[in-house]
């Protein structure tokens, strides 16, 4: 065993020099021979130091990088001894916008060397570090200090590597950064030195040298590749077709997928449980029993032969397990068959798991429900959701899966579990006449009206524009798309259009074209809202200035593009989030008054279009109107 005092001294030297030193330089800082130093480093192991060798013109050179298992707690309020440091990571980096005088306003502790923190530092033998040295050590070891990693990132070499384009999150294997990627040929990138990744790291305040340290530490945890433990799991079979897929195909479940290039999992159930066995994901059986137990929020673990399946750690014995499933129901139309319906629960004082939106114990019903939380979670999986129950105000942290009462600081555990669907129910859905497939359909079609008719409930204008509930799943879905690129804009209202005449024309056109619809953005002046809601988009009356890709109505995939291309004063800009029938596309030209046959619309680029030009009104339904204001960029604690 290495001498703790010597290890602590070496760590302090390394962190004072940026986290790493060449072995020769380190020898010049410490009164040990090379043999003695190498013996200490080897005895301490990779949990304290990573020794790297690199060949060059001058021969083999060795360097030492400081490592630690110490981590910063991700919860805002933590009243239990979790074993982690409780501090403001931005303050540690010298970037928190709260000064020493008003540090009490910060939600996180600025007392780096508090009694509790000192106890944690001492346990990890790093209590001798000052604030700057501790920052160096934690930044290159704790993934919490990295920019947010994209949850939609599917891996390299795919037709569509991410659902968000452009994406402002890291396209990196999250398990690699944690040191536990189990794939010998992982399809997700392990290269933190990638040019795009380095740009994001730099914007996050991490220099190239720091990123190189993180890369080397992560590499050391995965090389040589660690094979799985040899204790057998008896009830496993069937290797998965595509180890990188994490979504089950809805089309295959219902009546068979006709897409030969489908990158989703083809399985007979809407869920699949697997265990990592010697670098391969294999199925766990009996799968239905495991799923049924997992759907019960009261169950944290179940026996599995002579092992235990732990749903909190997602392990079977010492091996990692995973659950893949169909897409979440909040991202699909209401009547989509086989979509996974997730339920969010909080733990009451009587240890009962209560679904959000339902009454529990003596508390009033919360202002949010499972569908709202699910929508926000899919957009910002590391976010915090404020809500109220009666007169009490709460915050729910997705990272810590914890609900906190703002006034009393009382905390309640939170879990997210799916609704159970048995194999028998799946078979009934496939064969039952009352369960039509709906993976590509919108909400049910509104009743059709003749042009001269107007429903009696509508005003003389023929349309109704009503504000939607800011705590509803519909609001969350629209704001998710908008905020994915308009991060520094404040949504004031989201309104929904009800115009049966426009809706009827849109649905008729959709049946003629036989194409899927998509949602696109269009920014315009406030004065055009009434005309659009009553008569749909008209590029001439709206004064479209740029007609580079044709003389039509311009829509964009991202809200930020629509906002920046709008020629009006930002204070008078509003944005429509419309249903659009894009159909087949061709690259547009300024002279086009309509797309050449057989195309339906024009785009800026056939390969990766971001601008869409629509020439026919009935290919558009201006469903949502977003009223917003730009805000100054603020210091955000993630």
* pTM, full prediction: 0.45
For the cut 70, the answer to whether the pLDDT of residue 454 exceeds it is no
State yes or no: pLDDT of 130 exceeds 60: yes
pLDDT band at 79 (very low <50, low <70, confident <90, very high): low
Q: What is the predicted pLDDT for the residue at 10?
A: 94
- Per-residue pLDDT tens digits for 542-565: 656 678 899 899 999 999 999 988
- Among candidate residues 606, 607, 562, 599, the one with its CA nearest the CA of residue 581: 599
More confident residue, 498 or 238: 498
Shared fold status for 236-331 and 342-418 = yes
Maximum Cα–Cα distance for the chain, whole Å? Answer: 95
109-129: per-residue pLDDT in tens? 888 888 888 999 999 999 999
pLDDT for res 214 = 94
Q: Are 246 and 240 a contacting pair, CB within 8 Å? A: no
Cα angle vertex 535, ends 529, 540, to 5°?
A: 75
Please report the pLDDT score of residue 112 as a whole number: 84
Domain borders along the chain are 4-66, 236-331, 342-418, 464-630
What kind of fold does domain 342-418 have according to CATH? 3.30.720
User: Within a 13 Å sphere around the CA of 328, how many CA atoms are in the beta-carbon half?
Assistant: 20
Using 50, 70 and 90 to split pLDDT, how confident is the model at 435? very low
Number of H helices, E strands in the chain: 17, 25
Which ranges constitute the DSSP H helices of 450-528? 473-483, 500-513
Residue, of 1 and 317, whose pLDDT is higher: 317
CATH number at 4-66:
1.10.10.10
Residue with token string 């190239």: 208
Residue 453: pLDDT over 70? no
Percent of the chain clearing pLDDT 90 (strictly above): 34
The residue-averaged pLDDT of 68-96 equals: 83
* The predicted structure's pLDDT at residue 103: 75
CATH architecture of 464-630: Alpha-Beta Complex (3.90)
How confident is the model over 514-539, as a mean pLDDT? 88
Residue the block writes with tokens 């997700």: 188
pLDDT of residue 1: 60
Average confidence (pLDDT) over 301-307: 90
Tell me the two tokens of residue 103: 């540090």
Query: Which runs of E-coded beta strand occur in 533-619?
Result: 553-556, 573-580, 585-587, 601-603, 611-614
CB atoms inside a 10 Å sphere around CB 243: 19
Between CA 67 and CA 47 the distance in angstroms is 6
CB atoms within 10 A of CB 620: 25
With 70 as the cut, is the pLDDT of residue 631 above it? yes
Give the residue with greater pLDDT, 44 vs 416.
416
What number is the average pLDDT over the span 333-344? Answer: 85
Q: pLDDT averaged over the chain?
A: 83
Report pLDDT digits (tens) over 582-600.
Answer: 988 899 998 898 998 888 9
Asked whether the predicted pLDDT for residue 243 surpasses 50, the reply is no
pLDDT at 332 over 90: no
Spatial distance between the Cα atoms of 517 and 621, rounded to a whole number of angstroms: 10
Helices (H), 302-393: 370-379
Using left for φ > 0, alpha for ψ between -120 and 50, and beta otherwise, residue 479 falls in alpha
Asked if residue 340 has pLDDT above 90, the reply is yes
Residue 99 tokens read as 């000064």
Residue of 245, 45, 13 whose CA lies nearest to 129? 13
Residue 238 region by backbone torsions, left for phi larger than 0, else alpha for psi between -120 and 50, else beta: left
User: Is 377:365 a contact under the CB 8 Å cutoff?
Assistant: no
- Quick one: CA dihedral 358, 363, 367, 371, positive or negative? negative
Strands 585-587 and 601-603 turn out to be: parallel
Q: What confidence tens digit (pLDDT) does each residue in 510-523 have?
A: 878 867 678 999 99
Instruction: Give me the CATH code for the 236-331 domain, please.
Output: 3.30.720
For residue 255, pLDDT beyond 70:
yes
* Per-position b or e across 281-302, b if 16+ CB within 10 A of its CB: bbbbeebbebbebbeebeeeeb
What pLDDT, on a 0 to 100 scale, did the predictor assign at position 622?
Answer: 95
Q: How confident is the model at residue 638 (pLDDT cuts 50, 70, 90)?
A: very low
Give pLDDT tens digits for 31-42.
888 888 988 998
| Whole-number Å distance between alpha carbons of 341 and 349 | 26
Q: Taking residues 501-507, what's their average pLDDT?
A: 87
């Amino acid at each position: 065993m290495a001498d703790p005092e010597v290890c602590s001294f070496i760590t302090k030297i390394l962190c004072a020099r940026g986290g790493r030193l060449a072995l020769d330089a380190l020898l010049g800082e410490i009164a040990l021979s090379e043999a003695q130093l190498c013996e200490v480093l080897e005895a301490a192991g990779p949990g304290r130091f990573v020794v790297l060798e690199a060949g060059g013109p001058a021969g083999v050179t060795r360097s030492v990088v400081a490592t630690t298992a110490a981590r910063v707690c991700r919860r805002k309020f933590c009243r239990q001894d979790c074993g982690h440091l409780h501090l403001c990571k931005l303050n540690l980096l010298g970037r928190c916008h709260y000064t020493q005088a008003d540090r009490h306003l910060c939600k996180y502790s600025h007392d780096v060397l508090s009694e509790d923190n000192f106890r944690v530092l001492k346990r990890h033998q790093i209590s001798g570090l000052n604030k700057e040295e501790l920052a160096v050590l934690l930044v290159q070891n704790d993934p919490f200090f990295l920019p947010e990693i994209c949850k939609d990132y599917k891996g390299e070499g795919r037709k569509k590597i991410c659902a968000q384009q452009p994406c402002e999150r890291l396209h990196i294997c999250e398990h690699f950064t944690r040191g536990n990627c189990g794939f010998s040929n992982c399809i997700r990138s392990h290269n933190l030195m990638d040019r795009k990744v380095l740009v994001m790291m730099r914007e996050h305040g991490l220099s190239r040298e720091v990123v190189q340290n993180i890369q080397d530490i992560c590499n050391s945890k995965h090389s040589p590749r660690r094979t799985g433990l040899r204790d057998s799991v008896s009830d496993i079979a069937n290797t998965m077709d595509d180890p990188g897929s994490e979504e089950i195909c809805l089309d295959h479940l219902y009546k068979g997928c006709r897409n030969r290039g489908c990158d989703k999992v083809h399985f007979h159930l809407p869920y699949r449980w697997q265990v990592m066995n010697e670098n391969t994901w294999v199925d766990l059986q009996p799968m239905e029993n495991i799923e049924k137990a997992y759907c019960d929020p009261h169950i944290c673990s179940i026996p599995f032969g002579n092992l235990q399946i732990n749903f909190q750690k997602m392990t079977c014995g010492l091996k990692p397990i995973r659950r893949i499933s169909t897409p979440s129901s909040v991202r699909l139309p209401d009547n989509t068959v086989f979509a996974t319906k997730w339920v969010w629960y909080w733990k009451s004082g009587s240890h009962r798991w209560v679904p959000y939106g339902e009454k529990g114990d003596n508390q009033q019903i919360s202002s949010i429900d499972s569908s709202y939380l699910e929508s926000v979670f899919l957009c910002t999986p590391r976010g915090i959701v404020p809500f109220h129950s009666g007169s009490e105000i709460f915050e729910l942290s997705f990272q810590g899966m914890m609900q906190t009462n703002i006034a009393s600081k009382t905390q309640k555990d939170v879990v997210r579990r799916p609704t159970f669907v048995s194999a028998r129910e799946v078979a009934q859905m496939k064969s039952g006449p009352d369960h039509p497939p709906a993976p590509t359909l919108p909400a049910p079609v509104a009743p059709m009206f003749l042009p001269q008719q107007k429903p009696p409930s509508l005003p003389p204008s023929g349309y109704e524009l009503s504000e939607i509930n800011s705590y509803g799943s519909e609001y969350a879905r629209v704001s998710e798309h908008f905020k994915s690129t308009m991060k520094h804009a404040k949504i004031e209202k989201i309104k929904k259009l009800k115009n049966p005449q426009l809706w009827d024309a849109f649905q008729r056109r959709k049946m003629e074209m036989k194409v899927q619809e998509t949602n696109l953005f269009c920014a315009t002046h406030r004065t055009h809202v009434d005309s659009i809601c009553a008569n749909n988009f008209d590029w001439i009356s709206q004064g479209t200035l740029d007609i580079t890709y044709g003389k039509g109505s311009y829509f964009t995939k991202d809200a930020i593009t629509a906002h920046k291309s709008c020629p009006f004063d930002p204070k008078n800009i509003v944005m429509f989030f419309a249903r659009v029938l894009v159909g087949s596309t061709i690259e547009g030209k300024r002279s086009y008054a309509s797309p050449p046959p057989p195309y339906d619309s024009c785009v800026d680029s056939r390969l990766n279009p971001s601008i869409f030009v629509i020439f026919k009104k009935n290919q558009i339904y201006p469903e949502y109107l977003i009223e917003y204001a730009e805000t100054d960029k603020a210091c955000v604690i993630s």
